[in-house]
Amino acid sequence: TPLPRLISPRIDPTMAAAAAARAYDLVVWGGSGFTGRLAAEYLARRYTPGSPDPNSKGSSGPVRWAIAGRDRVKLESVRESIEAKHPHAKGKIDILIGTNDDPASLESVACVANTVLSFAGPFAICGAPIVDACVKCGTDYCDITGETTFIRDAIDRHDASAKSAGVKLVSCVGYDSVPWDVGAFAVAKHFRDEGDECVGAVGHAGAARGGVSGGTIASAINLMETTPWDVLRRMGSPFFLSPGGDAAADAARSRWRTQSSWRFDEDIGRWTMPSVMAGINTKVVARSWAIDASGVYGESFAYDESDICSGRFAAAFGTAALTAFGAALMFPPTRWLLKNHVLPKPGQGPSEALREGGFANIYVVGTGAKNGDKAVAHVEFKGADPGYKGTAALAVEAALCMALPSERAKLPEGGGCLTPATALGTTLVDRMNASENFAVDVKPLADAVIRG
């Protein structure tokens, strides 16, 4: 059964032409949710004039921003808590209201922003209307979803019209899937700049500390509950989000093989297990490769992913546990038990101490075509757990690549349903390296220290 293909809303050229004079660079949609609040706090601390934070850009590069959602009381509570923690932001945080059952109200939000950054999930349930509004208003859009059916639907509905309008729609700008997608892009670009071609890249999740996301769990459960079995089977392909679908998979299947068991990785010298996040990351990287117009990847490129383990037993046990958890989510009785009595609920997240003390290390090892040379892209989260503070800060930096006119001018031309790598590329890498919470570098594998 194919995914539903709905009609994209007609783009209003008058609204699109008014983008240059809009009131806000960035609107945070879903600003009252757990991660949305963290994004608003990051904007207040780093990009609002008067901030005493030594890393603040509020004076040299202030951002015009607002928070938005459906519940004014909750949004006002968020604003009050931020103003109490960051007094310099008092009177500088606007609130916009829109509801999914009132398209005009969503358009009133979208049409006053250069870019909308959405945290309002589960996206398959409540994410589409704000995307519709952004496309109609000629507003760039990004979100932190990892829901592949939502992304596939957005591609089917909006890719053509967004291309014609030059509107960029970019999903997966959080921990899933920026480190992996941008890491693969960075290592492929390294080989291209050296006059070589990257024929294979393998992402590895290394040492990390963070909490489990209730919102991510809710999205995964909703995906299992609402997606037909035939679509779930199609989602097993890394090319689920790529142009050409199964045809692309047939042509590249021998190269694109996702790790399904524990094994020893010779390149990094560690035991590994299947990646917890490969279900979304491999699809995003595959779409980047398929739609890349810059020639960074090359025709022979392929991508795989794993999680680094402390040893063989840990890799075997982790593989078994991941398999059991996946099976439990597939069947209604065990899924109900996990949903109601075991897993965290939406809106729940780790303590501030864990968020501030969190970190993550992602490595993408690339292989060159000429001599089999190895290089590694290292994406590091510093002083930020990857699932919450790190995702919030990363999503803001990604959004600002499009929201700030000076940054958007650096991006590749054109619109459509893009990926973090194809839409934002080196501009996002530069912004990450300018932030105290991230670092991205590429070096020969022999010179790298793998922490895992």
pLDDT in tens, 374-425: 999 999 999 999 999 999 999 999 999 999 999 999 999 999 999 999 999 9
Rounded Cα–Cα distance for residues 202 and 180 (Å): 9
The separation between CA 116 and the C-alpha centre of its own chain, rounded to angstroms, equals 14
Q: Which residues lie closer than 8 Å to 216 by C-beta, 6 or more apart?
A: 146, 387
Rounded Cα–Cα distance for residues 182 and 189 (Å): 10
Residue 5 pLDDT: 31
Looking at the DSSP bridge assignments, the partners of residue 142 are: 117, 170
Residue 2 pLDDT: 32
Q: Which amino acid is at 22?
A: R
pLDDT tier, 325 (very low <50, low <70, confident <90, very high otherwise): confident
Of 174, 439, 205, 161, the closest CA to residue 318 belongs to 205
Whether 6 has a pLDDT exceeding 60, the answer reads: no
pLDDT tier, 346 (very low <50, low <70, confident <90, very high otherwise): low
pLDDT tier, 7 (very low <50, low <70, confident <90, very high otherwise): very low
Residue 182 pLDDT: 98
Q: Which of 188-197, 202-211, 215-224, 246-255 has the lowest mean pLDDT?
A: 246-255
Rounded Cα–Cα distance for residues 142 and 416 (Å): 12
Residue 321 pLDDT: 93
Rounded (10°) angle between helices 148-165 and 278-291:
20
Computed over every residue of the chain, the mean pLDDT equals 90
* Phi and psi angles of residue 22, each rounded to the nearest 5 degrees, phi first: -75, 155
Of 301, 321, 206, 306, the closest CA to residue 264 belongs to 306
Contact yes or no for 86/78 (Cβ under 8 A)? no
Count of helices and strands (H, E) across the chain: 18, 14
Contact yes or no for 403/114 (Cβ under 8 A)? yes
For strands 140-143 and 113-118, give the pairing.
parallel
Whether 440 has a pLDDT exceeding 70, the answer reads: yes
Helix (H, G, I), strand (E, B) or coil at 344: coil
**What percentage of the chain exceeds 70 in pLDDT?**
90
Of 179, 183, 175, the closest CA to residue 211 belongs to 175
Q: Is 14 exposed, middle or buried (0-12, 13-18, 19+ CB in 10 A)?
A: exposed
pTM: 0.92
Rounded Cα–Cα distance for residues 217 and 213 (Å): 6
Write out the DSSP string of 251-272. HHTTT-----S-EEETTTTEEE
Rounded Cα–Cα distance for residues 75 and 40 (Å): 11
pLDDT (tens digit per residue) in 15-25: 444 545 899 99
Of 397, 390, 393, the closest CA to residue 428 belongs to 397
Residue 335 pLDDT: 78
Q: Which amino acid is at 344?
A: P
Rounded (10°) angle between helices 312-330 and 214-226:
50
Radius of gyration of the chain, Cα coordinates, nearest whole angstrom: 21
For residue 417, what are the CA distances in angstroms to 72, 166, 291?
31, 10, 10
The separation between CA 157 and the C-alpha centre of its own chain, rounded to angstroms, equals 20
Q: What stretches of 353-399 adopt beta strand conformation (E)?
A: 359-368, 374-381
Q: Which residues lie closer than 8 Å to 133 by C-beta, 6 or more apart?
A: 9, 98, 103, 106, 107, 109, 110, 111, 139
pLDDT tier, 142 (very low <50, low <70, confident <90, very high otherwise): very high
| More confidently predicted of 233 and 218 | 233
H helices of 331-380, in order, are 332-337, 352-357
Rounded Cα–Cα distance for residues 393 and 374 (Å): 30
